[in-house]
Chain A
Amino acid sequence: MRSRLPVVLVLPAVVGLAFLLVPLAGLLIRAPWATLPAQLFSEEVGQALRLSLVCASLATVVCLVLGVPLAWLLARSDLPGRGLLRALVTVPLVLPPVVGGVALLLVLGRRGLIGEHLDQWFGISLPFTTAGVVLAEAFVAMPFLVISVEGALRAADPRYEEAAATLGASRWLTFRRVTLPSIMPGVVAGTVLCWARALGEFGATITFAGNFPGRTTTMPLAVYLALESDPDAAIVLSIVLLFVSVAVLAGLRDRWISA
């Protein structure tokens, strides 16, 4: 028989586990289950939920359209300074989202480097709009997609692309018909992670897009607001987000991440 597990390891492990799980359990215990259905379908929650889903999905689309080609460039081209570029792309991953929001304001705000011209020439103003929410979420979430897709691309054998070339396929056709299908698991995993990150985005969104119910108040913002005025609503919103997160995790584990 193996000797007993050492207490110096087991004790902190159990404390750590409790530290991670007890708050989640608390959320479930304190939930106003009786009034939950009513809360869930209230105008306020419904609005925030819809806005969140729409914005996170749009942000994910933006990330896919821009991020997959970016990942391809990082993985397949012989661009000088590729390593540095790769490092820079991951900055938003570790950057406090609030800083991201400030940076976006400085560039795309009404007085920003680009925002000024957008406003003057096209009359477009992004801050404090739904489009601004989408941008803020995409900014924070895109690295998740890029890293996941780039990893899949590096793991994929480039000789299949050569085989496609010898069959007369252009690089674009090769990408669509050969490369993309072979990295699909990575793309799906990246998309889901990206979407989940966008859904939970708070800091960059509130900084860049503000907090206007129906326009920029997404779920996380609504939770924060409701905590002051209507704690029960905050709990309901939190539970919705918790379930979405768990569902994402379960979906990823079953289909794409087998440990």
Chain B
Amino acid sequence: MTLHADLRVQRAGFSLHLDLALEPGEVVALLGPNGAGKTTALRALAGLLPGGRVRSGESDWDGLPAEKRPIGVVFQDYLLFAHLTALDNVAFGLRARGTRRTEANAVARRWLDRVGLADLARARPRTLSGGQAQRVALARALATSPELLLLDEPLAALDVSTRLRVRSELGRHLADYPGHTLLVTHDPLDAMVLADRIVILEDGRVVQQGTPRDVVRQPRTDYVAHLVGLNFYRGVASGTEVRLGEGGTLTIAEPAEGPVHVVFPPSAVSLFPSKPAGSPRNTWQAVVSGVEQHAHTTRVDLDGSPAVLADITTATMAELRLQPGTTLWVSLKATEIHTYPR
């Protein structure tokens, strides 16, 4: 049954207005910059803040406090109860909802087994590693078979090496979970890997939603374009010409008409010390404003008409002797540019 949420939270200088429809078994990621209202949305859904209207089939959670909602929450720093063992943590929700101790413990034990921590049933939270604590937190949230699972930055507290493994494990558990899942994150990778659908929140409003593939290919705001690492412009197309809002004109391969978004990857951009002769249809002059070294490429920030990001090899970098203030020629093939209606 679809779960409909209508979240409206007003606070000084901030308002959240978010409509969500979550299908059973679907994992929806709420992605956005810090302060976008992601955690506020999660707290409103959980009933920890007023303003979270939720309808699920016949039942209406309006005005219900957290303890009356059929939810499970995995908090960013897990919030495992330090004085209880891992088993008692997982059994806590069942006990609180009136399940008898022996039965609650049996269910909790099964859950610990499912997350691969059967041997650590007697362990206290402070003796667990970050990855283990996260798994206990997940087991604790799922043990009550909630209708809605809420995950608040579930991987943010982990170091990079554990993160990869825990992420794939989490993906497996989420795939098995039949209820609705909302994952709050500021990490695009978490959202891309774990979610079926991504909802992007900026300033308390949805700015874009779609499958991870759609979001990656067709960003609709600067924030999203930055997340997925694309050059992004708004323009008006007329045939194979796009006049960009911020100045400059690009020639595209596929003709288009009217207001469009324009994207191309930084790796499609070439840089030359003097005006290149020959094929590329788009060349313009730009000034280097920043240089950032990545693993195998160098990202160059250029001011011009339009401003552009370019990824170049270290060899090119050395050849061009780039530094802030250097004037260069930017060259871009028309076939590398992707446009879609605004």
Contact = CB atoms under 8 A, between A and B. Distances in A.
A165 interface: yes
Contacts of B69: 166
Contact of B67 (A157, A169, A182): A169
B9 to A, nearest CB: 16
Contacts of A171: 67
B92 A169 contact: yes
Interface stretch (A142-150, A173-181, A200-208, A242-250): A173-181
Given A173-B96, A177-B92, A166 B81 contact: no
A62 B141 CA distance: 38
Given A165-B48, A166-B66, A159 B75 contact: yes
B92 A166 contact: no
Nearest to A159: B79
Interface string A86-100: 000000000000000
Contacts of B82: 182
B96 A167 contact: yes
Nearest to B140: A167
Interface in B192-231: none
Contacts of A168: 67-68, 93, 96-97, 144
B75 A167 contact: no
A42 interface: no
A164 B97 CA distance: 11
Contacts, number: 61
Contact of A178 (B47, B67, B68, B81): B81
A29 B79 CA distance: 55
A165 B96 CA distance: 9
A170 B144 CA distance: 15
B96 A166 contact: no
A167 to B, nearest CB: 4
Nearest to B98: A168
Q: How large is the interface on B (under 10, 10 to 19, 20 to 34, 35 or more residues)?
A: 20 to 34
Contacts of A170: 67, 96
A170 B253 CA distance: 63
A163 interface: yes
Contacts of A178: 81
Given A162-B48, A162-B66, A167 B79 contact: no
A160 interface: yes
B79 A165 contact: no
B73 interface: yes
B52 interface: no
Given A173-B96, A177-B92, A166 B71 contact: yes
Given A162-B66, A166-B72, A168-B97, 4 more contacts: A159-B75, A167-B144, A177-B96, A181-B83
Interface of B: 46-48, 65-69, 71-73, 75, 79, 81-83, 92-93, 96-97, 140-141, 144, 150
Interface of A: 157, 159-160, 162-171, 173, 177-178, 181-182
30 contacts: A159-B75, A159-B79, A160-B79, A160-B81, A162-B48, A162-B66, A163-B73, A163-B79, A163-B81, A164-B96, A165-B47, A165-B66, A165-B67, A166-B67, A166-B69, A166-B73, A166-B150, A167-B67, A167-B93, A167-B144, A168-B67, A168-B93, A168-B97, A168-B144, A169-B67, A170-B67, A170-B96, A181-B83, A182-B81, A182-B82
Task: Identify the 9 closest CB pairs spanning chains A and B, nearest first.
Answer: A167-B93, A169-B96, A165-B66, A163-B79, A181-B83, A166-B73, A168-B96, A168-B97, A165-B67
